[in-house]
Chains A and B, each alone.
Chain A
Amino acid sequence: MAGSRDSKAAEGSKEAEGSVVQQADLLCEAALTGERRALARLLTAVENRTPLAEAALRRLYPRAGHAQLIGVTGPPGAGKSTLVAALIAELRRAGRPVAVVAVDPSSPITGGAVLGDRVRMQAYAADADVFIRSMASRGHAGGLSSATSAAAAVFDAVGFDVVLIETVGTGQSEVEVAAAADTTIVVEAPEMGDEIQAIKAGLLEVADIVVVNKGDRPGAHRTAGQLHAMLADAPRDARPGRPAPKHPDVLVTTAATGEGVAELLAAIDRHRSAARGSDGESARLKRAEAQVWAVLVDRLHARVRALEGDEAELAALPDGGWAAAPAPAPAAGALLRSVAAHEIDPYTAADAILDRLVGDASGSGSARVR
């Protein structure tokens, strides 16, 4: 991670930095010419958020922006992976190259993960125009991993026409995928809930298309009818200054047999054309905001950790480690101890750290109560 606090790595010099950029260039070059191993390596770097990944993304980002990003989310066992496999089949029939990022949860206890989405998609393992990558969420909440959008951008840049983003099995409120994808599909299973479930806030609100999968099971069409009644028939008019509610299509599929999947793809493409207008523009801005914000938070974390770092080491530097400091301030460690001892409050401590990093935090426009 650039901006990392590891001062040894930092003084480790421009030389190493240069070679990282060169390595990234080589990998990008190879990946852009269709070398799959290079692409896989790039994705690993992106997932591990290495300096190489940052160098590569700086180079690849301008090439991205052409792929259709389709998010697939919904509760565990609803059939997301099987539906993704069915969409791959449909897209390949149309000759379109497809990439998949499939996220499964990491253990909060051991950090390990079982990434099992691929099992449903292995029929396409031998197709050179299909690339499937599993990712563990690695502690990131929201249904994706923190590297998912960057991975999608890499696939986009190297020429995949469609990127399918499959989230972890979600509950009601993991809505992050809506910012990562052009079109968000929420997959439900029959009999998962009644009309009350359908009017609750959260996941269903971000759906561009709702799919009731396992359409061959009893109750599938009744479930679809209830969802349709509550979602599609919501008021059409946005009040001034308020976001308009979405009116998702509600479709029934049987992913295991492919039934209804052609209609789903048609609905996805319809949504995409409709979203090219102003709605799409605001979605793209939202995505850009989420991306920039994520990097900003990362950078801020890294720099704050640097402040929290070894105070003795900082003090040993010629300027006491505070060269950029506008005024003398207590070291971050001392601040934390003061907060722990309830001598100062967390707001004062956070403002002191922000002051240290970016100058006067009160200049940010947020009023501070002193």
Chain B
Amino acid sequence: MTDRPLKVLIAKPGLDGHDRGAKVLARGLRDEGFEVVYTGLRQTPEMIVTAALQEDVDVVGLSILSGAHMTLLPRICSLMRERGMDDVLVAAGGIIPDDDVPALKEAGVAAVFGPGTTIAQVADFLRANARARD
């Protein structure tokens, strides 16, 4: 009913320990007016999906640098579908080869943001594509 802030979960699935990018994005989205829940490092798909469900977020943003994206991201998308969270936008960022992007989109990842993406680009995409709710 109001223009309440969009709520975004930023999570780091898997085992890589580099979350500077995720933190910079969290802070950047804060400055864009989003409410950003950050879950920290080394999260399993189950932990991420449960957090997204409890927080009732509009967007799940996944940062991954480890190379395990073809395993972890589809798993997260399918868990979300199992729990009826089809209306939650999933976006990914990190080091993800272009060749993998079509398969990830097929799996349910709406967008993949690589190095060089600006915060404003991410924010604009999320505003344009996240679910409209009251």
Contacts and interface: CB of A to CB of B under 8 A. Distances in A.
Interface of A: 36-37, 40-41, 43-44, 48, 50-52, 106-107, 110-116, 118-119, 122, 125-126, 131-134, 136
Contacts of A107: 30-31, 33
A114 B29 CA distance: 9
A341 B32 CA distance: 37
B51 interface: yes
Interface in B18-72: 26-27, 29-40, 43-44, 46-47, 50-51, 53-56
A122 B40 contact: yes
Given A118-B39, A122-B47, A125-B47, A112 B33 contact: yes
A267 to B, nearest CB: 28
A107, A112, A114, A126 interface centre (most CB from chain B within 10 Å): A112
Nearest to B30: A112
Given A48-B1, A50-B134, A115-B35, A134 B55 contact: yes
B55 A40 contact: yes
A132 B35 contact: no
B101 interface: no
Interface residues of B, number: 33
Contacts of A41: 56
Contacts of A52: 134
Nearest to B52: A40
Interface of B: 1-2, 4-5, 26-27, 29-40, 43-44, 46-47, 50-51, 53-56, 83-85, 133-134
A148 to B, nearest CB: 15
Contact of A112 (B32, B83, B85, B134): B32
Contact of A111 (B5, B39, B53, B56): B5
A207 to B, nearest CB: 29
Contacts of B84: 37
Contacts, number: 93
B51 A125 contact: yes
Contact of B36 (A51, A113, A122, A125): A113
B53 A114 contact: no
A114 B31 CA distance: 10
B50 to A, nearest CB: 5
Contacts of B4: 48
B31 to A, nearest CB: 6
B2, B5, B27, B84 interface centre (most CB from chain A within 10 Å): B5
Contacts of A44: 56, 133
A41 B88 CA distance: 13
A36 B54 contact: yes
A352 B29 CA distance: 44
B40 A112 contact: no
B47 A133 contact: no
16 contacts: A36-B54, A43-B56, A107-B31, A107-B33, A110-B30, A112-B32, A112-B33, A112-B35, A115-B36, A118-B39, A118-B51, A119-B38, A125-B39, A125-B50, A133-B55, A134-B55
- Nearest first, the 4 closest Cβ-Cβ pairs linking A and B are A119-B40, A112-B30, A40-B56, A125-B47
A52 B51 CA distance: 23
Given A48-B4, A125-B43, A126-B46, 13 more contacts: A37-B83, A44-B133, A51-B1, A106-B35, A111-B33, A112-B34, A114-B27, A114-B38, A115-B37, A116-B38, A131-B54, A132-B54, A133-B54
A49 to B, nearest CB: 9
Contacts of A36: 53-54
Contact of A126 (B29, B34, B37, B50): B50
A52 B134 CA distance: 10
A136 B40 contact: no
A116 B55 CA distance: 12
